[in-house]
A = this chain, B = another copy of it.
Amino acid sequence: MATLEDVLSTIDAEQGAALDRLFALLAIPSVSAVPANFPDCARAADWLAHELDDLGFEAARHDTPGRPMVVGSAKAKTRDAPSLLFYGHYDVQPADPLELWTTPPFEPRLADGPNGKRILGRGACDDKGQLMTFLEACRAFRRNGGLPCNVTVLFEGEEETGSPSLPAFLTANAKALKADLALVCDTGMWDAATPAITTMLRGLAYEEVTLHAANRDLHSGLYGGAAINPIRVLARILADLHDANGAVTLPGFYDGVEELPEDVAEQWRGLDFDDDKFLGDVGLSVPAGEKGRTALEMIWSRPTCDVNGIVGGYTGAGAKTVLPAKASAKISFRLVGKQNPERIVQSFRAFVKARLPADVRAEFGSHSSSPAITLPANSEAVRRASRALEAEWGRPAALIGSGGSIPVVGSLKRELGMDSLMVGFGLADDNLHSPNEKYELTSFHKGARSWARILAALAA
C-alpha cells in the first residue's frame, strides 16, 4: 500500500506537468468584475470541471445568477474517513493598469527571482496557483491508490466581486457541500520560510457612491463659480471620513471593535513583525493608520476606511476646462471584531447625505458586505495541520491574522455551520491585486506537498 512518501514523490515527479496545467488555467482571463470577461469565467469553470473529472471526481459546472460554480466530489479509499470541503476561486482581479506589467498578465511564464523561480501572471497566486496546489495533492493520492479523506471541491468565480451568488448556492446545495471541515486556500505564509494558519480575517463593506449635480458637463469658464462642482463636494466628504489622528469619523464605526486579548497580542509580538521592512518593501516608511497602533494591529485587528477608486471630469491627457456633471468613488471598510457591516453601510450613507449641498444628489451601490471572522486557534484540526506544515517546512506554523476578507469563510459558518482551516502559500510580495502578480515556484510545489501531508494528518 502506498505511503505518504510515495504521494510526495509523485508530486515531485509531476512538477513539470503540474506547471503546464496551472499555465493553461492562468491563460484564461477570468476577470469577474468585467462583463467582457464573463465568457472567460465560464471557460475557466469548464476547465476546472474537466480537470476534476480527470482526477476521478464526480464534477459539474453549476450556473448561478452570476458566474458559474464548479463542484466535484470523490470518496476516500477507506470507510469512516473524515469529510472535507475544499474551497478556491477561479476568478481573478482586473489586470489594469496594463502598462505597468512587465509581461502580459494572461501569458503565464517562469522568471528568476531572489527565492528561485517564480510564476508570473494574473492569478498566479490569487487564487489559481493556490487552488491548484490542492488539486495536485489530490492527483498524487489518486496515482497512489486514492484519497485518504472524502473530498468535495467548490470553486467559485465571484470572489473578487464580493461572492454575491455564494450564500444562496451554499444553502441550496447544503447536502452536497456539508462536511466535517472546510479547507480554504486563499491566504499567505508568514514569510518565505515559515508556513502559517490564518485564524482571524477582517470583514469588508464595499460601497460605491456617485454624486450628480448639473444635468450635463459644463464649460468651467461659462459656469465656473456659479455651478456646483461634484468633485469638490465628493472631496470634502472623503476628507471628512478621517480625523486628524487617522480614526474613522463615521458615527458608531467603532462599535464592536475590541482591544486584542493579551494572549493573542503576546503571540503576535513573538512574530517579530518588521514594520520598516513591511512598509519599506512597497516604498513607504510611516504606518498611516490610527496614531499609537503598530502596523500589524493596523492590518490585522483595526478597521479601516479606504478609497479604492475615484473618478470625475476629464482624466485624459492634457487639459479640458470641464465642470463635470458627476463624480464617483469606491469606498471600502475593513471590519474587525463584532462590527456590523450593514450598520456601517447605513452610517456611511447617512454621513454622505448629511453633507450634500443644494443641487447635489447621491446614488449608492453595494459591492460586498461581510463581518470579520475569528476561528478557534486550538482545535484538533489546527493542531494536526500545524504538525503537517512543520514536517514539510521544517518550522512551526505561525497562527496569524489577515487584513483581507474571504467571504466564503463567513458564509460557510453561517449557512452550513462549518469552521474553516485556512492554509495558503502566498507571500507579501506576490503583488495580489497589483500589476506583475507572481507565485513562488516553491509555494506551488511545497504547497501541493503540504496539502498531501495535511490530508494524511486529518485522516489519521
- Point out residues on A near B: beta carbons under 8 Å: 32-35, 93-94, 96-97, 100, 160-162, 202, 204, 206, 208, 213-229, 231-232, 234-236, 238-242, 275, 278-279, 282-290, 295, 298-299, 302-304, 306-324, 327, 329-330, 332, 334, 357-359, 367-368, 402-405, 428, 431-436
A219 to B286, CA, bound (A): 17
Interfacial chain B residues near A304, Cβ < 8 Å: 220, 224-225
A106 to B405, CA, bound (A): 47
A228 with B284: CB separation less than 8 A: yes
Provided the pairs A321-B433, A322-B433 are in contact, do residues A220 and B306 lie with their beta carbons within 8 angstroms?
A: yes
B318 with A231: CB separation less than 8 A: no
B316 with A33: CB separation less than 8 A: yes
B307 with A312: CB separation less than 8 A: yes
Contact for A288 among B160, B298, B359, CB less than 8 A = B359
B162 with A319: CB separation less than 8 A: yes
A202 to B304, CA, bound (A): 43
A252 to B357, CA, bound (A): 27
B34 with A317: CB separation less than 8 A: yes
A160 with B284: CB separation less than 8 A: no
> Can you name 9 extra interface pairs (CB under 8 A) apart from A33-B319, A231-B329, A309-B312?
A161-B318, A216-B434, A221-B404, A225-B403, A231-B238, A235-B238, A235-B310, A309-B324, A321-B332
Identical chains bound together, number = 2
List 30 A-B residue pairs with CB atoms under 8 Å apart, sorted by A's residue number: A33-B317, A33-B318, A33-B319, A34-B316, A93-B320, A208-B319, A214-B282, A214-B284, A216-B282, A217-B435, A218-B434, A220-B334, A224-B299, A225-B288, A225-B298, A225-B299, A226-B287, A227-B288, A228-B284, A228-B286, A231-B307, A236-B238, A236-B239, A288-B359, A308-B313, A309-B312, A310-B311, A311-B312, A315-B330, A322-B434
Residue of B whose beta carbon sits closest to that of A213: B284
A217 with B316: CB separation less than 8 A: no
B235 with A235: CB separation less than 8 A: yes
A143 to B302, CA, bound (A): 80
Interfacial chain B residues near A97, Cβ < 8 Å: 217
A225 to B334, CA, bound (A): 9
A284 with B227: CB separation less than 8 A: yes
Least CB distance from A190 to B in Å reads 13
Closest 4 CB pairs of A and B: A221-B404, A215-B283, A33-B318, A319-B367
Least CB distance from A228 to B in Å reads 4
Least CB distance from A41 to B in Å reads 12
A298 with B226: CB separation less than 8 A: yes
Interfacial chain B residues near A222, Cβ < 8 Å: 299, 402-404, 428, 432
